[in-house]
Amino acid sequence: MSRTRYRVVFTLLGIALAAVIVLAVVLSPSGRETKLPAAVDSYAPVDGATVLRQTQLVIDMAPGYDIDLVVDGVAIPDAEIDVIPETGRFTWTPGPDKTLAEWAPGLHAIAVDWDRSSGLPDPGSLRWSFRVQ
């Protein structure tokens, strides 16, 4: 192989490597993900999701927090929310003898406010919405 051919091949390889790096940075999802507050580990369904009518709200908090849940502007009583205090998992599903009997088709707005159950206060809130088919 001639010296010119080596230069052309290595130049093309360099350009290809640069293109891969640029595409990896541009297309990586980390730049577009919503950062959760430190007290919130996760929640479901996620913001903007489309779900079935049987869906369950799940809010995973750091242990040691209490929440107030509001669904479509209606406060959900604490007695209706299932809690695993050791893991900080809060779940709620509409049903008979609950504040909401079922998920109506359409958009639903969720609001969660929290604070530590003991120790120094650490209040916060999270708002999101999802669509039920």
Per-residue pLDDT, 87? 95
pLDDT score of 32: 47
Neighbours of 130 (CB within 10 A): 19
Say if CB 85 and CB 78 are below 8 A apart: no
Report pLDDT for 31: 46
Q: What pLDDT is stored for residue 33 in this prediction?
A: 56
Distance in angstroms (rounded) separating the CA atoms of residues 71 and 28: 33
C-alpha span between 57 and 82 (Å, rounded): 10
Name residues of the chain where pLDDT drops below 70: 27-34
